[in-house]
Structure 1
């Protein structure tokens, strides 16, 4: 029970990686707050956490709106007293049809002997598409971190885990420059804030996942041809996606009393970006 009685907030927890981390925290004794912009989708996650015998509070939050973030933390104060752990998991990923086409072009250029050419993405990107990713993936991390630090610094204890991506530390962005830029900003923010607040016994670190075995990613793989699937696995030396529970175990360590890392960027990508395992 490494997190016994700690209040742990996980954003974007309605499914996928956020759900996996929340369940891992619950198994270690945490009192878990799950939040998402889609509050209705949190009900199954809350039920799973309660089945494990853990206390759970499910809240709506739009992390791109600072007022929504502040209101969420105020409710946590009322119901649970404080916040000890924050996982900034909420984020946008490229998942529209044109994003799938970009991925296929990227994978083809990365794995086949085709003539060198531009993927032609950035020149066609709109202001709205750029800002949409930045507002959730960067502004959201800042708003939640700022609110959490008000509580954590006052109690001289806290753990903040930011979820970035291997897209933020390499060209393996599959291939979305706006997503890479936003996740790279999360990495830089982690380092700066980690250095800033560690003297108050608040440890800030970052996980950079590669592919995560979520229903959405599995649906994407299922619609690929066998050749396209083989192309994808050529880019992942381990030959499979990371399981939410594996990422959850890593998050448990970073959230625990045993953690000695400050401003660290942990690459968990199945070998996709071996040269930058810790950057």
Structure 2
């Protein structure tokens, strides 16, 4: 870290993986912009960071809204500091078998994951290139390898891997790295909702998932936050264009 505190932006940070990442980056010494759809939902995370001596800003924005994203990033630069770390974590699911999937279900998932990551990255990268230092981490998924009932989500998460590799080519000469993390089963509100949708108690759902994972447990937001912490560190400047599967075992 430099003597000046760097500013990190984490999307989808009101809960789950995003909240875990925001808190970890704050602990690592970053000022953190906590972004989600609802600013009020971001405030508890920002307040928790501030209560432990960190600096944080809660920002409500739809990452798929071009003008909203630019306004949010302008506000972050002014109120918290010019951002040089971006974690594209915002995501939604609209699961269904493809023959039942609506065009709206497809578009909603693409807009948040792909359009949102594009808009956020485009808005922030100028600060990174100006600083001659930057870190971009986008959240993919093991579903990028294909998953029943997730044609939209799988395509979006695979798309983020191609997006990441392209960013690595384009931004590397400016001191900016771009990497992706592909989580496996992580215990979050999203996976709890999936369990509820299939009519299974969450503990049972987690146990079934763990039985298929080599390390014999399901993941937690802190597992992903640790990987993000590495990718955005000073020492990871020679690691770019990579996809790290954080899934408790190897993935093809």
Equivalent residues of 1:4, 1:30 under 8 A apart: no
Q: 1:177 to 1:67 in 2, by over 3 A?
A: same
Counterpart of 1:55 in structure 2 is: 55
Partners of 1:3 and 1:24 in 2: how far apart? 19
Query: Residue 203 of structure 1 is aligned with which of 177, 200, 214?
Result: 177
- Residues 9, 85 of structure 1: 8 Å contact kept: yes
For the aligned residue pairs, the C-alpha RMSD in angstroms reads 2.1
Task: Report the CA distance between 1:230 and its aligned residue.
Answer: 5.4
Change (3 A) 1:215 1:255: same
Alignment equivalent of 1:235, drawn from 202, 208, 212: 212
- Shift of the alpha carbon at 1:196? 1.2
Secondary structure in structure 2 of the residue aligned to 1:263: coil
- Residues 1:192 and 2:166 aligned together: yes
Matched, 1:128 2:104: yes
TM-score (norm 1): 0.82
| Residue 256 (structure 1) aligns with | 233
Question: Per-residue displacement from partner, 1:56-101 (whole Å, max 9, x unpaired)?
Answer: 111111001111110011101211331110000011124xxxx4xx
1:265 matched residue in structure 2: 243
Which has more radius of gyration? 1
* Alignment match, 1:93: 93
Describe the shift of the 1:227–1:214 C-alpha distance in structure 2 as closer, same or farther (beyond 3 A): closer
Aligned length: 248
Q: For 1:26-37, what aligned pairs fall within 5 Å after superposition?
A: 26-37=26-37
**Residue 255 and residue 124 in structure 1: after superposition, are their counterparts in 2 closer, same or farther (change >3 A)?**
same
Q: Deviations over 1:100-150 (max 9, x none)?
A: xx6xxxxxxxxxxxxxxxxxx212222111111111110000000101111
Task: Tell me which moved more, 213-222 or 256-265.
Answer: 213-222
The counterpart of 2:125, out of the listed 149, 153, 165, is 149
For structure 1, list consecutive stretches of 5 or more residues without a partner in the other structure.
103-120
Name stretches of at least 5 consecutive residues in structure 2 with no aligned partner. Answer: none
Q: Contact conserved, 1:10 with 1:32, CA < 8 A, in 2?
A: yes
Q: Give the conservation status (yes or no) of the 8 Å contact 2:185–2:209.
A: no
Whether 2:74 is the aligned partner of 1:67: answer no
Question: 1:35 aligns to what SS in structure 2?
Answer: strand
* Gap change, CA 1:32 and 1:227, over 3 Å in 2: closer
